[in-house]
Amino acid sequence: LSDRLVETFKNLRTKGRLSASDVDGTVREIRRALLDADVALQVVKDFTAKVRERALSDEVNKALNPAQQVVQIVNEELVEILGGTQRKLQFAKVAPTVIMLAGLQGSGKTTFAGKLAKKLQGEGHTPILVAADLQRPNAVNQLQVVAEQAGAAIYAPEPGNGVGDPVKVSKAGVEFARQKQHDVVIIDTAGRLGVDEELMKQASKIRKATDPDEVLFVIDSMIGQDAVNTAKAFQDGVDFTGVVLSKLDGDARGGAALSVASVTGRPIIFASNGETLDALEDFHPDRMASRILDLGDILTLIEQAQSAFDEEEARKVAEKLAKEAFTLEDFLEQMQQLKKMGSMKKMLGMLPGMGGQMKQQLENFDESEIGRTEAIIRGMTPAERNNTKILNGSRRARIARGSGVSVTEVNQLVNRFEQAAKMMKKVARGENAGIPGMGAM
C-alpha cells in the first residue's frame, strides 16, 4: 500500500495544479491501495467517491498547492470515518461499571481483558475479571493467569464442576463485584471460530443479564475482508458500544479498522498491539489514518522542516545520515532544530515506514529527556561526540559526573543514539529517501 500511494502523491507533488484527470488517476490509485489494505469494497467505493468530489471542488483548484490539499482530503475523510475524535471508555454513574467483551475465538478478548484490567488498575480502579468463557476447558485458567499478571481480582466458577452457565456466572460476577466494591467488572466471554447462532444467543443473554455500560467488540485486525461480515453479525446479534482492534502489531494495515468503523458506525476505543499486557493504546483516528495511508504526514513534515531547517543544512544532514557519518555532534545540533519543529517524537512519527518495531522504539523515546540528553552530550569532548566508539568505561564515568547523571543513563543514551543512527540510515536510504526529502523538496 505505502509504496504505491507515496508514488502517487509524489507524482501529484510535481505538478502545480490538478486537472480532472489528475484527480481521477489519484482516486483510482487510492481505491486500489485501500482494496490492497483489505478495506471492504463498499467502504472503498463510498470513500473514493467522497474524495473525488471534494478534490474536484473549487476550493482545491484555487488553492496554492492542490496536491497538498488532496493529501489532506484523503486524510480528513479517513479520520472522519474512523470516528473523528478519540472516544474514551464510559464509566457508570454508580459503580460498578460493567464492561462485556465479545468477539470470535482467538480475536484477543482474554488478552485484552488482562490489558484493560492492568490499565485500569494503574489508573486507580479496582477491576475484577469475570470468567464467562466456559466453552473451552482452559479458558478459565488462561484468565486466571492473565488476572494474576495484571494484579487484578477474578471471579470464576469452582474448577471441576463440569460446565457452568456463563449467563449465571456473569450475573453472579457482577453481584460479587458490587459486594466487594470492585468499581469495574470486565466480563470475558466465549467465542467461536466463526459467526455462530448459539454464540450470539449466549452473548446476547449475558448482555441482557448484566446490563453492561460498555459492550466491546474485539476484532483481530488481520481478519481482512471478513471484518465487515463479522462486525455486522455481532452488531445484529449482540450489538456493541465500541470496538477494540487487536493484533495491530502485526502486518495489518488497518483495513479492518476502516471497514468496521464505516459499516457499524461504532467508535474504535482501543488498539491492542502485542502479547504482553502493556501493549494497549487508546485508539487515535488520526494515527490510524496515517497508518492506513502509511504515508506519514509527509507533506506536513516537509513544510515544518522547511521552516525550521535551512535547506543546505538539511541536505548535509541527509548526506551524513545516508553515509552513517552522523555523529552525536550532529544529533545535538539537530535537537536544537527539532525543538523549533515541535516534538521529536512527532517528527519521527511522521516519517513513512515507521511501523512495528520502529514505532515501538519511538514510543519509548521520552521528549522530556531531551534536556538530560543535551546535558550528557555537552559533557563529552568533541572527539567523543564524533566517535562514540572511543567511549570506554572511564570516559563514560567522567561524562556522567560532569553532567550529573548516572553512568547507566550515559550508556542508555549512547545505545539509543547508535540505534537511532542505524535506523535513520535505513530511512534515509529508503525508497522515499525520508529525511533527504526535506532538502530536496
Binding residues for GTP, by number, are 103-110, 188-192, 246-249
C-beta of 221: minimal distance to ligand GDP in Å? Answer: 8
What mask of x and - would describe binding to ligand GDP in positions 229 to 248, judged by CB under 6 A? -----------------xx-
Name the residue nearer to Mg ion (CB basis): 140 or 209.
140
Long-range contacts of 66-70 (CB under 8 A, 24+ apart): 66/12, 66/15, 66/16, 66/17, 66/18, 67/9, 67/12, 67/13, 67/15, 67/18, 67/299, 68/299, 70/9, 70/12, 70/18, 70/23, 70/26
**Angstrom distance (rounded) from CA 356 to CA 105:** 24
355 binds, among ligand GDP, Mg ion, none (CB under 5 to 8 A by kind): none
3-state secondary structure of 265: coil
From candidates 2, 48, 110, 334, binder to Mg ion by CB under 5 A: 110
Of all residues in the chain, what percent are helix, strand and coil, respectively (each to 5)? 60, 10, 30
Q: Which stretch binds ligand GDP (CB under 6 A): 32-40, 81-89, 257-265, 273-281?
A: 273-281
What is the total count of residues that contact ligand GDP (CB under 6 A)? Answer: 17
Q: Tell me how far apart the alpha carbons of residues 210 and 401 are, in angstroms, rounded to a whole number.
A: 59
Binder to ligand GDP among 69, 107, 170, 304 (CB under 6 A)? 107
At 54, phi and psi to the nearest 5? -70, -35
- Judge whether 365 and 345 are in contact, CB under 8 Å: yes
| Among the listed residues 66, 83, 96, 103, the single contact to ligand GDP using CB under 6 A | 103
66, 83, 96, 108: which one binds ligand GDP (CB under 6 A): 108
Contact 242, 82 (CB under 8 A): no
Beta strands per DSSP E along 162-233: 184-189, 214-220
Cis peptide before 96 (omega within 30 of 0): yes
Nearest Cα neighbor of 110 from 125, 94, 129, 85 is 129
CA distances from 432 to 17, 113, 348 (A): 22, 40, 14
- Choose the stretch contacting ligand GDP; rule: CB under 6 A; options: 15-23, 108-116, 162-170, 297-305: 108-116
Distance of closest approach, residue 101 Cβ to ligand GDP, in angstroms: 8
Judge contact between 37 and 255, C-beta under 8 A: yes
Residue 273 binds which entry of ligand GDP, Mg ion, none, CB below 5-8 Å type-dependent? ligand GDP
CB-nearer residue toward Mg ion: 108 or 254: 108
Does 189 contact ligand GDP by CB under 6 A?
no
17-25, 107-115, 248-256, 294-302 -> range binding Mg ion (CB under 5 A): 107-115
Q: Which of residues 274-303 bind Mg ion (CB under 5 A)?
A: none
- What's the grid cell of residue 71? 493529501
Of 106, 122, 151, 382, the one binding ligand GDP (CB under 6 A) is 106
Residue 272 binds which entry of Mg ion, ligand GDP, none, with Cβ cut-offs from 5 to 8 Å by kind?
Answer: ligand GDP
What ranges make up the beta strands (E) of 178-241?
A: 184-189, 214-220
Dmax over CA atoms of the chain, in Å, equals: 74
Distance CA 351, CA 332 (A): 20
Q: Least distance to ligand GDP from the beta carbon of 275, Å?
A: 4
DSSP string, 24-57: HHHHHHHHHHHHHTT--HHHHHHHHHHHHHHHTS
User: If DSSP codes are grouped into helix, strand and coil, which group holds residue 186?
Assistant: strand
Of 61, 72, 86, 105, the residue at the interface with ligand GDP (CB under 6 A) is 105
- x/- track of binding to ligand GDP for residues 276-315 (CB under 6 A): ---x------------------------------------
Nearer to Mg ion, 103 or 379 (CB): 103
Pick the piece of the chain touching ligand GDP (CB under 6 A) from 102-110, 157-165, 329-337, 413-421.
Answer: 102-110
- Of residues 96, 157, 191, 436, which one binds ligand GDP by CB under 6 A? 191
Task: Please name which of 180, 294, 288 lies closest in space to residue 243, comparing C-alpha atoms.
Answer: 288
Q: In whole angstroms, how close is the CB of 118 to ligand GDP at the nearest point?
A: 13
Q: Which does 249 bind (CB under 5 to 8 A by kind): ligand GDP, Mg ion, none?
A: ligand GDP
Binding-site member from 3, 7, 211, 275 for ligand GDP (CB under 6 A):
275
Stretches 109-117, 121-129, 176-184, 391-399: which one binds ligand GDP (CB under 6 A)? 109-117
Binding site for ligand GDP (CB under 6 A): 103, 105-111, 191, 246-247, 249, 272-275, 279
Contact residues toward Mg ion (CB under 5 A) are: 109-110
